[in-house]
Structure formats: structure tokens, C-alpha cells
Amino acid sequence: MSKGSVKVTVLKGTNLVVRDLRSSDPYVILKLGHHPVARTCVVKKNLNPVWNQQFQFSLTDFNRCLLKLEVWDKDKVLSIDWLDRDDYMGEADIDLKPLVKGDGN
């Protein structure tokens, strides 16, 4: 099985949708396949957030090289954890396989 690593920079979001009263508190979850590998910080009350955060993680199976970036709105209701229901805002999928040098073997 081949191994490698990926470095990803989550830069920003533009014109995100309103999920709270007048704004959103967005953050991004990065997943390889269905497995979360990283998460950005929450940018409060911003529809054009700038994260500019770098992440690096290992790839162990080059046949499963789909990076999913899910954008969520952080909700905090009265500081009661079980009432927190973050809102889904959108996602993007990036196929990493074309970026892998060589044949991955």
C-alpha cells in the first residue's frame, strides 16, 4: 500500500448563505472519504470568512483520494450542548488522485 501526504490550505468563503438571524458563524470540516481529518476555526458573524488555515494529513490509499470540504454554521443555544444544532451550508469535493505524482503504486 502506498503512502503520501497532502497539504491543504482553506483560504476563505465568499457570499455564504445566512443561517442565523442576520449572518452565519461558518467553519469547514475536511474529510477524506467519510472520515473527518481536520476542522477550521469558527469565524463569527461573517458571510465572507477568511480562515487561511493549513492542514497536512497522510494518504494511505491512493484509490480513495476524495477530499470533501463541508461548510457548517456553528450554533450555540444558551450554552446548552444538547441544544446545539449546527446548520449545513454546503460542500465541495476535490479528487486528489490527479494531483498524486506517479501512479500511486
pLDDT tens profile 63-92: 568 899 999 999 876 665 556 689 999 999
Residue 75 lies in a domain: yes
* Domain count within the chain: 1
Residues 6+ apart with CB under 8 A from 99: none
Residue 104 lies in a domain: no
Residue 26 lies in a domain: yes
Residue 105 lies in a domain: no
Mark the ranges of the chain whose per-residue pLDDT is less than 70: 1-2, 61-64, 77-84, 100-105
Q: What CATH number should be reported for the domain holding residue 56?
A: 2.60.40.150
Report the predicted TM-score, pTM, of the whole model to 2 decimal places. Answer: 0.84
Residue 61 lies in a domain: yes
Host domain of residue 11:
4-99
Say what the pLDDT of residue 90 is: 96
